[in-house]
Amino acid sequence: MSKRPKLIATDLDGTIVSHEGLISQRTIDAFTRAKELGIHIFFVTGRPPRWMGEIRDAFGFGAAICCNGAMLYDLLNDVILEEWMISIDDQTEIVQRMRIAMPEISFAVESNDHYQREVGYIPKWDIGLDNVGIERIEDGVRVPALKLLGRCSNLEYTSDEMVDIAQKTIGDLATVTHSAANDSLIEISALNVSKGATLEMMAKRLGLTADDCVSFGDNPNDFSMLQWTSRSYAISDGHPQAPLHAKGVAEPCEQDGVAKIIEALLDLPA
């Protein structure tokens, strides 16, 4: 691995976007230099497209994989290119099984610009999109979904505990992960849809292999991506299990950990 990467894939929040929502100039400069050297840049995130405006404004370049791998998004033109959705039938089955396994759970559903939640689902980020809610998410399942969100609003379980239960309950139907270790929130995608799977697909379309790629991430929804690329870095203040899935560790976002590693990688021969 003594050569410059041909593709850089990075998570956003907690990785290059600080916990205060800031992106440092050093980070922007490092990615800009990489882009100018002809390196493909992929922003790979759990965010839906409506949360990508600040990334577009900050960088002005790059491709985007949104919703934990469920969407390929044209960042610059604000256009959805491809989606890998949870079917209506699978949404209903997932909700029914999880209610039995975890009666405390409540749900929200994400589908393109459509967001709907149950009354019992207390949002932390999508406040204002659905101020009313519905009693049962099953009554709002009318189209395929990018992801289902499951929350225990009274914090009965950690996110890690919720993932463990969900994997045993719906692992044959869906991919389950989380990006909030200090919360009680899981993110559910269609079966075999993940950041890593979609990144691998995009790299292959560009004629690239895992050896050509480097990735950065901090939470369980990044683990598949960190595992797939031959060079990968877990953020040191992220999920405690993240370093087990990566080949190296980067300093925290607030210390420009990703930028420092990219600067060193760009000094390698092409």
Strands 213-217 and 174-177 turn out to be unpaired
Residues 6+ apart with CB under 8 A from 152: 102, 104, 105, 106, 162, 184, 185
pLDDT mean over 155-161: 91
**Contact present, 43 and 55 (Cβ < 8 Å):** yes
Q: How large is the angle between the packed helices 25-36 and 257-266, nearest 10 degrees?
A: 30
Cα distance between the two ends of the chain:
11
Question: What structural domains and CATH numbers belong to the chain?
Answer: 7-83+194-266 (3.40.50.1000), 88-190 (3.30.1240.10)
**Contact present, 183 and 221 (Cβ < 8 Å):** no
**pTM for the full model?**
0.96
pLDDT mean over 26-37: 98
Residues 6+ apart with CB under 8 A from 143: 88, 111, 114
Collapsing DSSP to helix, strand or coil, 11 comes out as: coil
What is the band of 113 on the pLDDT scale with cuts at 50, 70, 90? confident
Cα-based angle 55, 244, 182 (whole degrees, multiple of 5): 60
Answer yes or no: is pLDDT of 141 > 70. yes
Answer yes or no: is pLDDT of 124 > 80. no
Percent of the chain exceeding pLDDT 70 equals 97
What is the band of 129 on the pLDDT scale with cuts at 50, 70, 90? low
Answer yes or no: is pLDDT of 262 > 90. yes
Residue type, 131: N
Q: Pull the structure tokens for residue 173.
A: 């139907």
